[in-house]
Amino acid sequence: MGKRFKSGICAYCGAPGSTADHVFARSFFPETLRDDLPQVAACAPCNSEKSKIEHYLATILPFAGNHPLSKPMLEKQVPRRLAKNGKLHRTLAEGQVGVRWTEGATEQSSFGIPYDHDLLLGYLRYVAKGLARAHWDCTIPQHYAVSTGLVTAGQNAILRNLFVGRGAGYARGNLGDGLILYEGQQAIDDPSLTMWRFLVYGGMIFSDQDAVLDIPRDLWAITAKKPIPGLPHD
Ligand SMILES: [Zn+2]
């Protein structure tokens, strides 16, 4: 991991890859916490498509963050980004809504912002492939589906049990003092069957105004021969 990457084949599409791509963009982290982020080889088109999503997410994620570093990120880096993107700025300013939810016996409230959920899930498709490469030098075949989604607390408890070290490979990462945490597991009989779980910015709360008890905070990505029913996939 770290700065090492093997040039050659793009981790995302299998085409010849000539650039080094940070699996998670440097802009997701404060400037002092950008060393040692996983990198992989990528082709120029994938690198460019992916970085468009990263520009968007770097602006959005700190708003939804639940991590102590979200606030300084929001104050220092987001205004600079919003100044360059008037349309996104207006969408965020006009779209804020009050959100209430219940945790245990406590009622919580905050504000929510609209964001492009499909873009975030699409991003995780890149990330799953990138991490499989960075940790296990595994290139996910192009005909494999990458399913992504949110997992509610209840579903998460079930899925957690799958991470018991039975896989061929197990990986975990703590990037930027916990701003992004992940773990991944690789199946024994198929190295390209991988499963990833992400906690981003301390657990973003995904909800609408009808939020109920079981609030999704975790994001998942699964690379498999066939799409996982019920999860969006490419
Ligand atoms: Zn590519």
Instruction: Compute mean pLDDT per 10 residues along the chain, 234 residues long, and list them.
Output: 62 92 95 92 96 90 80 79 76 64 64 74 95 95 90 68 70 92 89 90 60 62 85 72
Closest CA to 129 of 57, 212, 214, 186: 186
**Cα 206 to ligand 1 centroid, rounded to whole Å:** 30
**Cα 18 to ligand 1 centroid, rounded to whole Å:** 9
The token duo for 116 is 């492009």
Give the three-state DSSP class for 201: coil
**Which position has the token pair 């690789």?**
186
- Pairing mode, if any, of strands 39-42 and 97-103? unpaired
**Cα 146 to ligand 1 centroid, rounded to whole Å:** 15
Half-sphere exposure of residue 79, counting CA atoms within 13 Å on the CB side?
A: 4
Residue 138, φ and ψ in degrees, nearest 5: -105, 125
**Cα 42 to ligand 1 centroid, rounded to whole Å:** 5
